[in-house]
């Protein structure tokens, strides 16, 4: 064994302690540090010939790289839709690396069982029926991609084509209907060979990002061909929700696969105050929920559910003599784009075990209360204007005067020591959005942000 490796092996307990100490140094004051990262990237250094061990690597990372990272794990990082990591999720993630188990196969170890157990908890959390089976993937983009891949196979079934075997060209043209899809849907359509042009945008209700069900019905009625509908449960700009029950009811008269993107909006179902937003989710054929957002597990983690595991296995089957037959409960290597995969379920298992349904309901409601409070503060500031009512956890706002993209970028920059928000455009109006999905955020953080905004505008 290389002498540096042998030395690190001897010193492993000390090394793990040093890492824990550094992690605490990072997290202990995460709420006090400037929220956005700053500084020029370090000058490049050549790949070392002889390394000098893990402790030197730790020191160099801390000195040269760590200061460039934002406090994205902290309570006032409101860009994109960003979760933190609960204490239990962090513990589970560290242990997932320590166990270093490959969950692809059931031939060895309990990883696949832990994943199935965790998927069952998540299914329960989101109120889905047992007909929905699921798997962990790396994020909502991948979850949407898997759901739409199963939809593709279903379209083949409707048209008498085995798409997994014959290819997407054998399927002919496909329509994917959606009102305000996340950008990852177009990306998935490109990856899956449908092409981005397969996406047909359906009108929304007036002044909303939610689909107009009557317009969707007209679009469905325009062709007898089976198609795919992507319903959105939580849009990024304004956290708007399609009426899932109204969309699902259209199945009585039209043939389509219903995929629901509930990347963060799926969590509305955890609170009686917001559960009406996701009513009808159980009628979906496939469902996407991100976990590195509102479940607050570390990157990267999401879950996908579908009622047609048989079709899913047809798409993703990874046939090899040493992997064995599919059987009734196919191994995860036959269900997801990856073959080898980490014990991604463990952080989710830890945090669900530690805080349960009630703990997550409290996080969802506190985030929603924070968004409502910031929304009220924005409305009270003469220089700012809310662009949409705060429905759940997103505040979308702009400047009252001269709301150009440049001026909003300047405002975001000036705000960035206190809070990180990201730019967007809503109905042609440049805007900023603040999304609350971190378990740490409290009312005091919202006051902090509102005070900063009041100083700036």
Ligand X SMILES: *Cc1c(COP(=O)(O)O)cnc(C)c1O
Q: Work out how close the CB of 385 gets to ligand X at its nearest, in angstroms, rounded to a whole number.
A: 24
> Residues 292-321 vs ligand X: string with x where CB under 6 A?
----------x-------------------
State which of residues 81, 128, 151, 453 lies at the interface with ligand X (CB under 6 A). Answer: 81
State which of residues 236, 258, 270, 421 lies at the interface with ligand X (CB under 6 A). Answer: 236
State which of residues 261, 285, 331, 418 lies at the interface with ligand X (CB under 6 A). Answer: 261
Q: Does 375 bind ligand X (CB under 6 A)?
A: no
Q: Which residue, 115 or 261, is less far from ligand X as judged by CB? A: 261
Q: Which residue, 8 or 257, is less far from ligand X as judged by CB? A: 257
Q: Which residue, 140 or 377, is less far from ligand X as judged by CB? A: 140
Q: How many CB atoms neighbour CB 274 within 10 A?
A: 21
Q: Does 264 bind ligand X (CB under 6 A)?
A: yes
Joined together, the tokens standing for residue 425 give 């455009």
State which of residues 125, 189, 227, 263 lies at the interface with ligand X (CB under 6 A). Answer: 263
Q: Work out how close the CB of 233 gets to ligand X at its nearest, in angstroms, rounded to a whole number.
A: 8
Rounded to whole angstroms, what are the CA distances from 36 to 79, 118, 236?
10, 34, 21
Q: Do residues 187 and 240 touch, judged by C-beta distance below 8 A? A: no
Near ligand X by CB under 6 A, which window of 251-259, 261-269, 350-358, 397-405? 261-269
Interface residues for ligand X in 129-158 (CB under 6 A)? 139-141, 144
Q: Work out how close the CB of 162 gets to ligand X at its nearest, in angstroms, rounded to a whole number.
A: 29
Q: Work out how close the CB of 232 gets to ligand X at its nearest, in angstroms, rounded to a whole number.
A: 7
Interface residues for ligand X in 84-103 (CB under 6 A)? none
State which of residues 75, 84, 134, 234 lies at the interface with ligand X (CB under 6 A). Answer: 234
Q: Work out how close the CB of 67 gets to ligand X at its nearest, in angstroms, rounded to a whole number.
A: 25
Q: Work out how close the CB of 161 gets to ligand X at its nearest, in angstroms, rounded to a whole number.
A: 28
Q: Work out how close the CB of 134 gets to ligand X at its nearest, in angstroms, rounded to a whole number.
A: 16
Near ligand X by CB under 6 A, which window of 5-13, 155-163, 257-265, 335-343? 257-265
Q: Which residue, 140 or 281, is less far from ligand X as judged by CB? A: 140
Q: Work out how close the CB of 437 gets to ligand X at its nearest, in angstroms, rounded to a whole number.
A: 9
Interface residues for ligand X in 167-196 (CB under 6 A)? 182, 184
Q: Work out how close the CB of 299 gets to ligand X at its nearest, in angstroms, rounded to a whole number.
A: 8
Q: Does 211 bind ligand X (CB under 6 A)?
A: no
Contact residues for ligand X, defined by CB under 6 A: 81, 139-141, 144, 182, 184, 234, 236, 261, 263-264, 290, 302
């Amino acid at each position: 064994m290389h002498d540096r490796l042998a030395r690190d092996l001897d010193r492993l307990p000390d090394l793990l302690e040093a890492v824990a100490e550094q992690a605490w140094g990072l997290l202990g004051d995460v709420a006090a540090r400037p929220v956005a990262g700053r500084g020029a990237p370090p000058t490049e250094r050549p790949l070392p010939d002889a390394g000098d061990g893990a402790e030197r690597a730790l020191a160099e990372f801390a000195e040269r790289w760590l200061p460039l990272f934002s406090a994205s794990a902290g309570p006032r990082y409101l860009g994109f839709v960003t979760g933190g990591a609960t204490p239990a999720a962090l513990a589970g993630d560290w242990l997932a690396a320590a166990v270093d188990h490959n969950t692809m196969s059931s031939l060895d170890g309990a990883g696949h069982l832990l994943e199935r157990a965790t998927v069952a908890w998540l299914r329960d959390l989101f109120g889905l029926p047992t007909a929905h089976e699921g798997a962990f993937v790396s994020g909502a983009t991948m979850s949407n991609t898997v759901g739409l891949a199963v939809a593709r196979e279903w379209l083949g079934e409707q048209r008498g084509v085995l798409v997994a075997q014959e290819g997407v060209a054998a399927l002919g043209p496909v329509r994917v209907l959606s009102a305000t899809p996340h950008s990852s849907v177009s990306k998935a359509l490109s990856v899956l060979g449908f092409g981005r042009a397969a996406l047909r945008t359906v009108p929304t209700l007036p002044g909303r990002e939610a689909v107009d069900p009557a317009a969707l019905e007209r679009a469905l009625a325009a062709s007898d061909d089976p198609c795919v509908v992507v319903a959105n449960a939580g849009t990024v700009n304004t956290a708007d929700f399609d009426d899932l029950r109204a969309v699902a009811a259209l199945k009585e008269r039209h043939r389509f696969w219903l995929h629901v993107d509930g990347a963060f909006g799926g969590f509305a179902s955890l609170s009686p105050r917001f559960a009406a937003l996701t009513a009808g989710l159980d009628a979906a054929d496939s469902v996407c929920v991100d976990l590195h957002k509102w479940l607050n597990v570390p990157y990267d983690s999401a879950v996908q559910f579908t009622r047609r595991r048989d079709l899913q296995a047809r798409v993703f089957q990874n046939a090899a003599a040493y992997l064995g037959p599919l059987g009734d409960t196919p191994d995860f290597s036959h269900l997801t784009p990856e073959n080898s995969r980490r014990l991604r379920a463990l952080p989710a298992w830890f945090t669900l075990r530690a805080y349960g349904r009630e703990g997550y309901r409290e996080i969802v409601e506190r985030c929603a209360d924070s968004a409502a409070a910031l929304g009220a503060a924005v409305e009270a500031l003469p220089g700012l204007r809310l662009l949409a009512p705060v429905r759940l956890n997103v505040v979308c706002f702009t400047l009252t005067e001269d709301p150009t993209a440049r001026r909003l970028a300047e405002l975001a920059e000036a705000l960035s020591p206190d809070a990180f928000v990201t730019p967007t455009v809503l109905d042609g109006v440049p805007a900023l959005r603040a999304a609350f999905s971190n378990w740490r955020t409290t009312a005091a953080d919202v006051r902090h942000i509102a005070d900063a905004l009041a100083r700036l505008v």
